[in-house]
Structure 1
Amino acid sequence: MNVLQIVTVAALLAGPAVPAAVTAQAPQGWEQTALRVPAAHRLAQGKGVTVAVLDTGVVAGHPEFRGRVTGGPDYIGGGARPGQSYWGEHGTSMTSSVLKVAPQSRVLSVRVIWDHLDPARKKVDAFIKENDFKSAEKVGKPGNALAKGIHYAVDKGARVISMSLGSDEWGWGGYEDDTAAAVDYALGKGVVLLASSGNGGSTDRNDVDANNVVSYPAAYPGVIGVAASGPTGRRADFSQVHTYTTIAAPGIDIWAANNRGGHDNGSGTSPACALAAGTVALMLSRNPDLTPRQVRDILVRTAKRPTVSYTTYLGFGVIDAAAAVQAAGTAKAAKAVPYKGKKYFGQGPTDRPTVNAPLDPDYLIIGGGAAGIGLLCLVGAFFLLRRRSSAKSGRRR
């Protein structure tokens, strides 16, 4: 037996070889150039910023992450556990895209939705088809998962919340009061929220996912809705078209980590949202004092715009990470301007309560009589005009 044969036998006995991708970073695709990430990295890399990924869970032990991921609670439940094929598939991919743009940031994983192949999701989806969404909790869909996830992320110090999920694509029922309140809570704490615009924007009648419904949480006021763009800068044909779209980011053929230890190539407004969240982490790393409104304004101002200032296809344009980070570094801290005028509330000037003078009975009599005469005149005019109209009609016959 020669050396080659010995090596071959040893390899067979040792089992299948570990894919090279397990120990490597996700391949750097066209999105790096489109977003101008290398130039942005010369200014900031996300250090000191925590990005909460609200998704299907994250395989924190993936070799690509190197201890940069912290696991949070599981608010959706359903019985899935790490290591199963339907746990953390989507969330792991989104985390990879965030860290690809902001490599020195940290990710907080909060599980709020199920992966597509999760048996719990299939059960609820089947129930919804036969019944209504609001009663889906009867078969195991926990309520308030997203709202709880937002509150948890804020309370744990996340500065950015990335939500690559949406209404009926992920089994959501649309607008929810508790989630809207959670969004307000996060914005009040200075946290930037981003969400994918949705993947139902196809005009192909044969596309079963073509629905273009209003997608929440992207449609909540204060959330930055992210559309998907292609290598040419145009909208990806699946990206939903709505006025809640604020900005766009690459969303076609994006390489990212998978929940098996390797990497996969995928498309959607989901990776677009994650890449945008990574960009925001760079901006906050460069300038921690930015408010959510300032972040949005800078993204809008520095974007590579379409032919007009705004479209429902790409929002205000495709993100330019380098320009956004540079602008973030020169932005001044937003401060509330104190009111220096007169005080009219609380301890402001006061006066005696206004007392209306009593009405003079004579005025009531005169006013009532005039109103009665006016009414009689109107009635008389009506009948006079009607009589003249009847006379003319008779002559025409």
Structure 2
Amino acid sequence: MDVNRRELLRSIAAGAVGTQAVGTAGATGKTGELAFGEYIVSFADEAGYSKALALAASVLDEIDFGDRIGGAMLGRFPEQALRALAKHPAVKYVEENGRMEAIGGSMPWGIERVGARTAHALGETGGSVHVAVVDTGIDSDHPDLQANLGSGKSYIRCLPCGVDNACTETWDDDVGHGTHVAGTIAAVANDRGVVGVAPSVTLHAVKVLNCEGWGFYWDIGRGIKYAARQGWDVVNLSIGGADSSFIRDAVEFAASKGVVLVGAAGNDGPCSDCVTYPAAYPEVIGVSATDSEDGLADFSATGSGVDFAAPGVRVHSTVAGGGYGYYNGTSMACPHVTGAMAVLLAAGHSPASAELALQQTAEDVGLDWLEQGFGLVNVDGALGIEGSLGTPPTAATNQPTRITETAARLAATVTDLGSADSVTVSFEWGVAGTELARTTPRVSVSATETVELSITGLVSGETYEYRAVAEGDGERSTGETRSFTTVVVTPEPPAVTTDLPSDVTATSATLHGTLDAVGTDDAVEVFFLYGPNGNLGQSSERQSLDAATAFAIPVTGLLPDTRYDVVAVASWSDGVVYAWDVHSFGTTR
């Protein structure tokens, strides 16, 4: 295995851009649960294979990576046999069959941030390139992906676990992770949903993770080899786990076939030198995650295995079931680089020259080398077309004002008109955690100034998110996403007082009370509970009042020469309120 690939490439790029090279990865990852009794035995030659075959209690599968790497067997072995195989000179390694996991109509901010919008405008969209997504599968019916879907392969059964997506194909997505990754790579430009970095590539789903988002080494390794044997150009690996000799062999095999492999750095951050595998292997381009302010995402792993940074916070993309969603993770950063490599390959670059072009033009966003590698990937810069279109305007999203239980005023400051004489400013907004699907009217400005727009119809106590959108001269940019919570209205009950009755006879009386406060409701109903000798079991007629005032209600059918108790009551939306004072009166003979 060429363990110096990453170090060598960094040295080459360093000569061009003046960046210090860093050594190879030495990161560790989390160990997953193991398939009971299943082990992988790798052999260098026929003698090793024969020994493994003789000692196996049962053989489940075999794979051949060629003469240089060797082959492997998945099987069940007695403990004594495993010890013997580990010592055999023709056996390369013996390891448990562990597992790896998925690392957790507008153009998404990440696609714009990596410069793909300019590339799209000039026709650089990745046509003729084939990209394999080794993951949970891809939604075969998604309207943003159908046009780009090629063939697929499944190494694990499609069985939806809470995802509303039919398993039309064996490689369909029963989680949503692989579909989100695929959308960032290649969602088509169809005036709906989202657009990917390389919207003209052909996508291939290689399903190796189950409906809980994890898969065994054996299936993942077979999936990587399968993609390489098909001659597909780029493999996206938004998966991660501990170091596996078998996965390393599969990665080395794919690299030997000229396949570009891109992997997610992992979500174990904040941490140092913690890049997960397979991203930490030198043959794999490792990607860390940044936020919309170009800061390192707080969950992103870092270390010498990081080659590039890309957007990974609130990434908007396709999800299983035909919809769209916002995900966070280095899994979401990884496909930005996969798409960038696809665009460069389609433009005529070789895998090596494409990676070098990205290295030499990556944007230094002020992070440490172990956090950003060469920097934030820059598609248009790598293509040599950066700045060939108009300069986009910019607008900063300001804090909201005049927040009530049902309304708020949003604000943004136009900080740069770009190449336009005038720009329009609007806001995209929605309930926090959902798509910012609602938009305000556009306001036209011709100078750097602050724009305020109100939104109404909000729900009390709900949290909303919003961002400014600036458009002009065919260019568009979005500001930082902010949030606010509407005012929570605390219900206030009405207040009543019982007053002395009047017009008392042997069988009737007029009961009196005062509504001291209406409370939160627009109107309340008032009445009396009364009865002889402390038994308040009778109820008077009711009156509806919308303001504080005295009220009187006559009652009849009383018993002569009897003592009655009475209390005023107000009924409101949250129940009833009783007066503190209970009055007594006696009827006449």
Sort the TM-score into its range (normalised by shorter chain): 0.5 to 0.7
Alignment of 1:196 onto 2:264: yes
CA distance in 2, matches of 1:88, 1:70: 20
Amino acid in structure 2 at the alignment position of 1:325? L
User: Is 1:323 paired with 2:406?
Assistant: no
Which residue identity does 1:89 align to in structure 2? Answer: G
Q: Describe how 1:106-185 pairs up with structure 2 within 5 A.
A: 106-116=202-212, 142-167=216-241, 174-185=242-253
Gaps of 5+ in 1: 1-24, 122-140, 168-173, 204-210, 328-397
Structure 2 stretches lacking a partner, 5+ long: 1-104, 187-195, 386-589
Matches within 5 A, 1:26-105: 27-41=106-120, 42-77=122-157, 83=166, 87-99=174-186, 100-105=196-201
1:226, 1:269 within 8 Å by CA — same for their partners in 2? yes
| Structure 1 residue runs of 4 or more that deviate by more than 3 Å after TM superposition | 76-82, 211-214
Q: Which amino acid aligns with 1:63?
A: P
| Counterparts of 2:111 and 2:158, CA distance in 1 | 36
Equivalent of residue 242 in structure 1, options 303, 314, 323 = 303
- Percent of aligned positions with the same letter in both sequences? 30
**Whole-angstrom CA distance in 2 between matches of 1:143 and 1:49:** 27
- Indicate the residue corresponding to 2:317 in structure 1: 256
Determine if contact 1:195/1:273 at 8 Å carries over to the other structure: yes
Identify the structure with the greater strand proportion.
2
SS of equivalent residue, structure 1 residue 144: helix
Partners of 1:178 and 1:325 lie apart in 2 by 36
- How far apart, in 2, do the equivalents of 1:34 and 1:232 lie? 10
Amino acid at match of 2:261: L
SS at match of 1:301: helix
Give the total of aligned pairs: 265
Residue 97 of structure 1: how far off its partner (Å): 0.5
**TM-aligned CA deviation for residue 88 of structure 1:** 4.1
CA contact (8 A) 1:200 1:212 kept: no
* Match among 345, 355, 362 for residue 303 of structure 1: 362
Pair 1:316–1:115, CA change in 2 (3 A) = farther
Deviations 1:16-65 (A, max 9, x none): xxxxxxxxx4x322213311111122151100001100000111110111
> Residue 290 of structure 2 corresponds to which residue in structure 1?
229
Q: Which residue of 2 aligns with 1:342?
A: none
Rate the CA distance shift 1:250–1:115 in 2: closer, same or farther, 3 A: farther
Give distance in 2, aligned partners of 1:151 and 1:278: 21
- Match of 2:250, SS state, is helix
Q: 1:142 to 1:225 in 2, by over 3 A?
A: closer
Rounded to whole Å, the distance in 1 between the matches of 2:204 and 2:175 is 13
Shift of residue 80 of structure 1? 5.0
- Distance, in Å, in 2 between the alignment partners of 1:143 and 1:254 is 28
Q: TM-score, normalised by structure 1?
A: 0.62
**1:274-309 CA distance string (max 9 Å, x none):** 11101111000001x513x3232221111001447x
> Could you say which structure has the larger radius of gyration?
2
Return the alpha-carbon distance in structure 1 between the equivalents of residues 306 and 233 of structure 2.
Answer: 21
The 2-side partners of 1:324 and 1:156 are apart by 27
Look up the SS of the partner of 1:67 in the other structure.
helix
Letter in 2 for 1:161: V
